Structure formats: structure tokens, C-alpha cells
Amino acid sequence: MLALCTALVGLLLLLPLLGNLLFPYWWQDLVISLSMIHSGYRCLRRLQRCPPLTLLDTFLEKVQSHPEKALLLFGEQVYTYRDIDRRSSQAARVLRDGVGLQEGDSVAVFLLNVPSYLWVWMGLAKIGCVMACLNSNIRAKSLDPCSSMGKNAFLTPSSDLKAAIEDVLPSLQQKGIRVFYLSAESPTSGVEPLQGHIDAVSEEPIPVAFRANVTPKSTALYIYTSGTTGLPKAAIITHLKLCRTASMLYICGVKAEDVIYTPLPLYHSAALLIGLGGCLEVGATCVLRPKFSASQFWDDCRRYHVSVIQYVGEVMRYLCNTPKRENEREHQVRLALGNGLRVEVWKEFLQRFGPIHICEFYGATEGNTGFINYTGKIGAVGRASFIQKVRNATLPLPYHGGYVDISPPQAGPPRGFRRPGVLGGGGPPLQHPQWGVPAAELLLKTQLFGGGSWGGRTPRHESLGYFGGGSRSGRTPRR
């Protein structure tokens, strides 16, 4: 009997060791899986209410719970949650009563990284309008067709982008698109300034009735592709997708006490949806910079007590290329979130700037799923944990226009490419062109099953549930 008890005790002591050997990331897998489940359930539960509770409503809840907390830090300027709420209500009134916008109308926003980007976004959301986020670096040839998404109005600052606006103004006016400056005066004939009107109207809350027909499938935003394969194309961001994307900071462990540093352009989904939208979701503070500066990056982090940083593409390489300083490890940054980080830069960044936890992720604005490398494994763009594999019989991998079942990797053709829709299933299978479907049905070939190559950084399946980043060629949003 004693021997049996001793054996049982020994087995119990060995179980944690065996668990760590067989499932080395089981605790992280459990925590991230629970976070994803909770976030997804909360998102669906809120959006299924009547009327649905969107990201705007999440923001308004934060306004009620901590109105005087700093939401946006911009240079020496500090904007609290209440400040942005009141300013957005003023903008909403002018855009609805003065400009004449109605629920469902779309407005092109051609702005730099400035605080007005946020209160214009929230103001348009309060009256149920769609914001089309234009790349502030594009000009005539690309700007003209992109601006057409703002079928009802076009908002821009006055002096900074005056020349770009005047280049396309005749075309916009011919299409019946009204152009407005977000300034007190207009330097351009035929363009009305709105700032004076905004300053003069009431700050009172906007009635929910102004957005009464919004649903989870309603379009919230248009965000454009980079235009590397032709003219920029608008990706539709529904309220459901916005809710899910904005929850990424929460899933990665960001709390209301964190300060997030966003030097990326707000017309890009990483900064707008994950960075700024994520701050609204968790109730955190966002530090917004007009444009990325490698020389000022760590000074800003120390000045604003930043705890979370965002990166895309070559941002980390630029930081590693700066001259070394004695104080470059003196900061409070604990987490970096982004994509496009090369392995060699990843290692150098950690060696130089300290043990910052890096959450590299894979995703696309126009895609329908993604991966997160939440364990910090160098070189991986994401991880599908054992728990996730049990929860989902298949893991969807996005491609342009749909996704492919990828569990488990196997020789021969995949089980079927599926159209966009319900993740992990739904929609009739679309076979690879060589198995009888026209080539137009599939724009990427898979190497997960042998044969074929991925374009760009589409992930490949590796050991222990990780996904590698293909060519991992660095990229940076056009500035």
C-alpha cells in the first residue's frame, strides 16, 4: 500500500514536468484562448442587442466611467475621453444639420495624424455615416478615384494638403462631391471651412435615433490597400469586423492602465483599428505622433511613460539603425505589437532595447482571419494552440477572396478552398484550379500541402502549431 501511494505521489509530481515537455506553452495557450473566447462572446453579445452596441457605444461607456482620463496625447496637447466625446458631438451636429449628411452616407477623410481624426471618426459614427480613410500621401491619379468613396462629402485640413485637394477639386465637384476644410478659414475658392461652425454648436449628446438602422453587418469604415498592385482598393470594414479587430489589444493583455504609442499613419488599419480602436475598447491612453521618427522614438516613450508600442514593417529596423545610446534600455515599454519583423532585426532589437515581449501577428485588412504569436517565439507570425485545434476542427487561412482549410498539413490537394463567410466552415468548397475550377477562383497557391508558393508574407505551417512568415520581406506603410 505504501509503495502504491509513493508511486501515485511520484506520478502527480511528474505530471507538471510531462505537461511542460509535451505542451510547453499550455498556460499561455489557455490564457490566450480564454481571452479570445471572452472577447468574441462579448462582441457578438453586444452586437446582437437591439440596437447593437458598437465600438462607438464602448467609447461612450468609457466616457461615463472615466471622463477625465487622458485618451489622446499629441505633443503638448491632452484630450480626455470627455473632450473627444464633446468635440465629436459638435462635429456630428454640423455634419448632419449643416452639411446635410444622413445615416448611411459615406465621407472621405483626407487627414494627417492629428487629433481631429478621432473626433471626426466618432462624430460620423454618431450619425451612422461611413468614413473612408484616404492615404494622405496619394495624389491626383490615385486620390481622384479613392475620393469617390466619399460620395457625400470630402473632409481635409486646409494648409497641409491644400495643393493635393486643388488638383482634384474640379473632378470632385463635377461628381457632385462637396469638399470641406476642417479649419476656421478656407484658402481655396469653392471649399467651405467647418471649424467655426463646429466651435459654435452644442456639445450635448447625439440622439441614438440618428444611427437607428446600424447593424453588425453595416459598413463602418473603408480602409484602402497600399496600391502596390494597381490603384488603392477599398476594403469594407463592418461593425462586426471593427469590434473583433479592436479587441486585439485586449487579447494580447493590454489593460486600461497602459499607454499605447502609435507613430503609424491612421489611414492604416494597424493604427486606426488596432491602436486607436484598441484603446477605446480597453479604455487606455493613446500617444499619437504626426509621423514616425526613429531618433525621437525612445524619447517619446520615456516622456509619455509608454508601456505598449506599435510597429509595422521596417519600423523596428529603423530603430536598430539609430546610433547607440547609454539610456536606450531606460523605458517602461513591456509589449510591442505589429507585423513584418525580420528575424535578424527581431534578435537585434531585443539585445539592444531589452526584454520587450513582441506579439507578431499575421492579418490583412481585407482578410477574414489572422494569427498572433503570443508566446514571443522569434520568427513566427502566429500560433494555433492545441486548445484552438480542439475547439476548431479546421483552422482557416485567408487568401484573396476566401480561405483554405489547413489542419493538418498533408500531401496532395487541400480539402477545399472556401468562400468568405463563417470561419472554419460555410460556403461550398472551391477546388484548386488544377482540379477543375477556373483560375480566377484562386489567386494564391498553397505550399502547406506541397507545391506552389505564397505571395508576400502569407504564413506557412511549422512545428508546435506555429506559422512562419514566408519570405518575411519588410514593408512599411507609405508615408
For residues 199 and 303, state if they share a domain: no
* Residue of higher predicted confidence among 336 and 10: 336
- Is the predicted pLDDT of residue 266 greater than 50, yes or no? yes
- Looking at residue 390, its pLDDT comes to 57
- pLDDT at residue 334 is higher than 90: yes
Q: Is pLDDT above 50 for 442?
A: no
Domain that holds residue 226: 81-238
Phi-psi region of 223 (alpha: psi -120 to 50; beta: other; left: phi over 0): beta
pLDDT tens digits for range 290-305: 999 999 999 999 999 9
Minimum mean pLDDT range among 131-140, 201-210, 256-265: 131-140
In a domain, 247, yes or no: no
CATH of the domain at 164: 3.40.50.980
Answer yes or no: do 234 and 306 share one domain.
no
Could you tell me what percent of the chain has a pLDDT over 70? 71
Q: Which helix (H) or strand (E) holds 151?
A: none
Q: How far is Cα of residue 352 from the mean position of the Cα atoms in its chain?
A: 27
| Better-predicted residue by pLDDT, 40 or 425 | 40
Flag whether pLDDT at 461 surpasses 80. Answer: no
What pLDDT is stored for residue 459 in this prediction?
57
Q: What is the pLDDT of residue 147?
A: 63
On whether residue 326 sits in a domain, the answer given is yes
Return the pLDDT at 353: 96
Sign of the alpha-carbon dihedral angle for 312, 314, 320, 323: negative
Asked if 119 and 230 sit in the same domain, the reply is: yes
- The DSSP call for residue 410 is -
Is the residue at 150 inside a domain?
Answer: yes
Amino acid at 217: K
Domain boundary among 193, 209, 238: 238
Question: What's the confidence (pLDDT) of residue 380?
Answer: 82
Higher pLDDT, 367 or 127: 127
Q: What pLDDT was estimated at residue 352?
A: 96
Q: In the prediction, which pLDDT does 377 show?
A: 86
* Between 385 and 154, residue with greater pLDDT: 154
Residue 283 CB-half CA count within 13 A = 16
| 401 inside domain | yes
Tell me if 183 is assigned to some domain: yes
Query: Is residue 453's pLDDT more than 50?
Result: no
Mean pLDDT of 243-264: 95
Q: Is the pLDDT of residue 313 over 80?
A: no
3-state secondary structure of 74: strand
- Could you tell me if 299 and 222 lie in one domain? no
> What residues contact residue 312 under an 8 Å CB cut-off, 6+ apart?
264, 268, 270, 338, 339, 340, 475, 476, 477
Are 218 and 298 found together in one domain?
Answer: no
Query: Which tens digit of pLDDT belongs to each residue from 99-147?
Result: 999 999 999 999 999 999 999 999 999 999 999 999 888 877 677 666 6
Q: How confident is the model at residue 64 (pLDDT cuts 50, 70, 90)?
A: very high
* 207 and 313 belong to one structural domain: no
Mean pLDDT over the full length of the chain: 79
Q: What is the pLDDT of residue 389?
A: 61
Per-residue pLDDT band at 73 (split at 50, 70, 90): very high
Q: Is 201 exposed, middle or buried (0-12, 13-18, 19+ CB in 10 A)?
A: middle
pLDDT above 60 (res 433)? no
Q: Distance between CA 373 and CA 369 in Å, rounded?
A: 14
Task: Select the more confidently predicted residue: 80 or 154.
Answer: 80
Cα 391 to chain centroid distance, Å, stands at 25
Single residue among 238, 259, 279 that ends a domain in this structure: 238
Neighbours of 336 (CB within 10 A): 24
The pLDDT of 411-427, averaged and rounded, is 35
For residues 395 and 169, the model is more confident at 169
Clarify whether residues 396 and 459 are in a common domain. yes
Residue of 336, 471, 461, 459 whose CA lies nearest to 407: 461
**What is the percentage of the chain residues whose pLDDT exceeds 90?**
51
- With a threshold of 0.75, does the pTM exceed it? yes
Structural domain total, the chain? 2
Asked whether residue 233 falls in the same domain as residue 304, the answer is no
23 pLDDT above the threshold of 80: no
Q: Are residues 216 and 304 in the same domain?
A: no
Domain membership flag for residue 427: yes
203 vs 23: which has the higher pLDDT: 203
Selection from 253, 333, 282 nearest residue 66 by Cα: 282
Whether 67 contacts 81, CB under 8 Å? yes
Q: How far is CA 171 from CA 111, 138, 314, 392, in A?
A: 19, 16, 36, 50
Q: What is the per-residue pLDDT for 148? A: 64
| Domain termination site, one of 217, 238, 259 | 238
Does any domain span residue 170?
yes
Asked whether residue 267 is assigned to any structural domain, the reply reads no
Helix axes 26-47, 239-246, angle to 10 degrees: 150
39-43, 158-162, 200-204: range with lowest mean pLDDT: 158-162
- Do 450 and 302 have their domain in common? yes
Residue 350 is predicted with a pLDDT of: 96
Query: 374 pLDDT band (50/70/90 cuts)?
Result: confident
Q: CA-to-CA distance for 262 and 269, rounded, in angstroms?
A: 12
pLDDT of residue 7: 65
Q: CA-CA distances (angstroms) from residue 479 to 17, 67, 315, 358? A: 50, 33, 12, 24
Whether residue 337 is found in the same domain as residue 452 = yes
Query: What is the rounded average pLDDT of the residues 250-273?
Result: 95
- What pairs with residue 179 in β-bridges? 154
Residues 178 and 321 in one domain: no
Report pLDDT digits (tens) over 136-165: 888 776 776 666 666 677 888 867 888 888
> Picking from 168-172, 177-181, 237-241, which range would have the lowest pLDDT averaged per residue?
168-172
**Mean pLDDT lowest for which of 114-128, 375-389, 406-420?**
406-420
Does the pLDDT value for residue 83 go beyond 90? yes
Judge residue 196's burial from the number of C-beta atoms within 10 Å of its C-beta, 0-12 exposed, 13-18 middle, 19 or more buried: exposed
Task: Compute the distance between CA of residue 315 and CA of residue 326 in angstroms, rounded to an integer.
Answer: 21
